[in-house]
Amino acid sequence: MEIQETINRGIQLAFQNIFNHDLPLDQISLAPTRKEFEGTYTFVVFPYLKVSKATPEATANLIGEYLKENVSEVTGFNVVKGFLNLELNNMIWVDVFQKLYSNQNIGQFPANGQKVMVEYSSPNTNKPLHLGHLRNNFLGFSVANILAANGYEVTKANLVNDRGIHICKSMVAYKHFGDDETPESSGLKGDHLAGKYYVIFDQEYKKQIAELKEEGQTEDEAKKNAPLILEAQDMLRKWEANDEEVVSLWNLMNTWVYAGFEKTYERMGVSFDKYYYESDTYLLGKDIVTEGLEKGVFFKKDNGSVWVDLTEEGLDEKLVLRGDGTSVYITQDLGTADLKYDDFGISKSVYVVGNEQDYHFDVLFKIMRKLGRPYGEGLHHLSYGMVDLPTGKMKSREGTVVDADDLMQEMIDTAAQHTKELGKIDGFNSEQAKELYEMLGMGALKYFLLKVDPKKRMLFNPQESIEFQGNTGPFIQYSHARIASILRKADQIGVEYKQADFTSIPKIEESESSLIYLLNDFEKKIFQAGLDYSPAILAQYLFDLAKEYNRFYADLPIFLENDASILAFRVALSAHTAKTLNKGMQLLGIAVPERM
């Protein structure tokens, strides 16, 4: 980063001396020079032609000559139209590396004094987690890690949807068809057992609808009058009235589900600092409606219902409380937002929720800002697209949902088969091999789901994700294992690289300086990933770094080097690359192997 700052200051001085113009530093940006041109950094002059009053080529040449004469790091330049490509003294990268190598806290910014909550997962207690939840959980956990690396104090939260008509559907089905089945007697995880009865409810409900239609009712009438749906609605009313029998069944089934979720979360490698439950929060928010009416943010209609007018903000009017005084979904979200602030004093709150809820969060955030909440400007919806499989879109209620547990196991099994075929477990005992398969399978799954910009809908291809070549988790994991092997060999033959001073090495090759250039970008990428709430930025960087390391390794066989100082430098460069890959993958929630 310091080299860029030095060049930026040089460009600022060039504008002062050549064009008599004060150009603020924050208006100067350098891009990496494209591979087909000579140079390290490129400065684009087109935006400044009004200042220079010259052609793009003339402007670029004037600045280039000034930098070559006045900035020691710049040894040459070339101009392609309005693009000024700056060629740097290669040896400066040794100094850059020396600073990187002595930093014990790479990838960690100092504390910034700000608190942020990242809420993700948000499961329903009537069914197990599915493929969409995998993207949600991996995104939430990774973003929390990245924000922590940026210096935030992070709380990872899970708002569990444990009440409502859908929960009662599973309960009604279990009551009629369960025959006292338990996770132990069935051999099913508790969340799968609850999900089984959610599917049964749907199947039996459809049968009842068909029967009522045969008796002459319309589709809509049959859906409303089917005995099972009426019973589910009655059960919800009883639950809200704290009926002992209903609450007892609710507690029993939820206990099973939570035990099942914990096993899934453990395998996913995600965790939470705070759980919120809708059964505790669904009555919140009514006091905020009263406050909003007093402040003139909300208004009441003739039927007693309370609304907010967001037409000036480009939206419409939105209901926040029904005429009979009962809540709508946004009412409790208003209350929960305040609850989070009361609990943790957060200045930012990130909601990891699918893009089908874009409108809902737009409304929620606009309301909280109108109400003048201190955390209002820090509200962010991390909106993500659906995940498809090559076999097509998922459907949940028909029982054809792509189950998270099944998919994770399938990935681990595929990793085992693939790794055996490639012969990468020679010398492993069965326990070590099992650990490696888990690491590779989960690494493949997480990386594939995280490398795509969260906003984009994506196609998950299990076979492609497990490959050891290309933009995959296993490619990066294998690159780390390769470096770990090099370091073991260096230790065995006594290479002195751990505390070494490399500033006196006689030369540095292009593939070494290119690698250092990328290593120097690590914290910049972490910062950008935090700013954009996008692990994809970090994932792409780690792939580029692993690829660049493999090019360096192919160009310069490390242990064929005769000069002891250059040998130590190349081993140290390898060690720092491994450290960077490890730290970066940790931020994505992915473990890297020491050998394979």
User: Would you tell me how many other CB atoms lie within 10 Å of the CB of residue 184?
Assistant: 9
pLDDT category at 400 given cuts 50, 70, 90 is: low
Query: Helix H segments across 85-152?
Result: 92-102, 131-149
Domain count, the chain: 4
Are 140 and 146 in contact, with CB atoms under 8 Å apart? Answer: no
Are 374 and 525 in contact, with CB atoms under 8 Å apart? Answer: no
Last-in-domain residue among 88, 108, 139: 88
Last-in-domain residue among 47, 68, 88: 88
Q: What is the pLDDT of residues 137-176, one digit of tens each?
A: 999 999 999 999 999 999 999 999 999 999 999 999 999 9
CATH number of the domain that 28 lies in? 3.30.1360.70
- Whether residue 114 lies inside any domain: the answer is no
Cα pseudo-dihedral 360, 337, 272, 355, rounded to 10:
10
User: Would you tell me how many other CB atoms lie within 10 Å of the CB of residue 159?
Assistant: 22
Q: Does the structure show a pLDDT above 70 at 397?
A: no
Cα–Cα dist 356/528, whole Å: 26
Helix, strand, coil percentages in the chain from 3-state DSSP, rounded to 5: 60, 10, 30
Are 107 and 522 in contact, with CB atoms under 8 Å apart? Answer: yes
Q: Does the structure show a pLDDT above 90 at 196?
A: yes
Cα–Cα dist 464/554, whole Å: 25
Q: Are residues 530 and 431 in the same domain?
A: yes
Q: Does the structure show a pLDDT above 90 at 394?
A: no
Tokens of 500: 């070494």
Q: Are residues 371 and 419 in the same domain?
A: no
Distance separating the N- and C-terminal Cα atoms of the chain = 34
- Whether residue 99 lies inside any domain: the answer is no
Percent of the chain with pLDDT over 90: 87
Q: Which domain range does residue 327 map to? A: 283-402
Q: What is the pLDDT of residues 32-43, one digit of tens each?
A: 899 889 998 999
Mention every residue, 6+ apart, whose C-beta is less than 8 A from residue 391: none
Residue 83, H or E segment: strand 83-88
pLDDT of 395 reads 43
Radius of gyration of the chain (CA): 29
pLDDT category at 393 given cuts 50, 70, 90 is: very low
What is the average pLDDT score of the chain?
94
- Whether residue 108 lies inside any domain: the answer is no
Q: Please give the average per-residue pLDDT across 321-350, as a whole number.
A: 94
Residue pointed to by tokens 């906003």:
455
- Specify which residues 403 forms β-bridges with: 130
Cα–Cα dist 448/536, whole Å: 10
Q: Please give the average per-residue pLDDT across 58-62, as a whole number.
A: 96
Q: Does the structure show a pLDDT above 80 at 378?
A: yes
Q: Which amino acid, residue 323?
A: G
Q: Please give the average per-residue pLDDT across 47-73, as a whole number.
A: 95
Cα–Cα dist 294/245, whole Å: 41
- Specify which residues 31 forms β-bridges with: 42
pLDDT of 426 reads 76
Sheet containing strand 83-88, edge to edge, reads: 31-32, 41-44, 83-88, 74-80
Q: Are residues 48 and 187 in the same domain?
A: no
- Whether residue 101 lies inside any domain: the answer is no
Q: Are residues 466 and 544 in the same domain?
A: yes
Q: Please give the average per-residue pLDDT across 355-360, as a whole number.
A: 96
The strand ranges marked E within 305-446 are: 306-309, 317-321, 348-354, 379-384, 387-388
pLDDT of 396 reads 40
- Whether residue 140 lies inside any domain: the answer is yes
Are 240 and 107 in contact, with CB atoms under 8 Å apart? Answer: no
Buried b (16+ CB within 10 A) or exposed e, 359-373: ebbbbbbbbbebbeb
pLDDT of 507 reads 87
Cα–Cα dist 596/425, whole Å: 6
Percent of the chain with pLDDT over 70: 98
- Whether residue 215 lies inside any domain: the answer is yes
Last-in-domain residue among 221, 251, 279: 279
Cα–Cα dist 407/389, whole Å: 11
Q: Are residues 206 and 288 in the same domain?
A: no
CATH number of the domain that 417 lies in? 1.10.730.10
Q: Are residues 48 and 3 in the same domain?
A: yes
Q: Please give the average per-residue pLDDT across 237-266, as a whole number.
A: 96
pLDDT category at 462 given cuts 50, 70, 90 is: confident
Q: Does the structure show a pLDDT above 70 at 392?
A: no
- The burial class, CB within 10 Å (0-12 / 13-18 / 19+), for 571 is buried
Helix axis angle, 430-450 to 131-149, nearest 10°: 90
pLDDT of 398 reads 44
Q: Are residues 421 and 394 in the same domain?
A: no
Q: What is the pLDDT of residues 535-569, one digit of tens each?
A: 999 999 999 999 999 999 999 999 999 999 999 99
Q: Are residues 209 and 228 in the same domain?
A: yes
CATH number of the domain that 168 lies in? 3.40.50.620
Query: Helix H segments across 493-521?
Result: 510-519
Q: What is the pLDDT of residues 291-310, one digit of tens each?
A: 999 999 999 999 999 999 99
Q: Are residues 510 and 487 in the same domain?
A: yes
Residue 417, H or E segment: helix 404-421
- Whether residue 384 lies inside any domain: the answer is yes
Q: Are residues 381 and 442 in the same domain?
A: no
Are 143 and 156 in contact, with CB atoms under 8 Å apart? Answer: no
Q: Does the structure show a pLDDT above 50 at 480?
A: yes
Residue 536 DSSP one-character state: H
Query: Helix H segments across 53-115?
Result: 56-70, 92-102
Which of these, 303, 302, 299, 275, lies nearest to 367 by C-alpha position?
A: 299
Cα–Cα dist 433/438, whole Å: 9
pLDDT category at 277 given cuts 50, 70, 90 is: very high
Q: Are residues 362 and 428 in the same domain?
A: no
Residue 509 DSSP one-character state: -
User: Would you tell me how many other CB atoms lie within 10 Å of the CB of residue 592?
Assistant: 24
Tokens of 413: 């099994």
- Whether residue 25 lies inside any domain: the answer is yes
Q: What is the pLDDT of residues 411-433, one digit of tens each?
A: 999 999 988 888 777 788 999 99
Q: Are residues 433 and 350 in the same domain?
A: no
> Residue 410's Cα: distance from chain center in Å?
22
Q: Please give the average per-residue pLDDT across 186-198, as a whole number.
A: 95
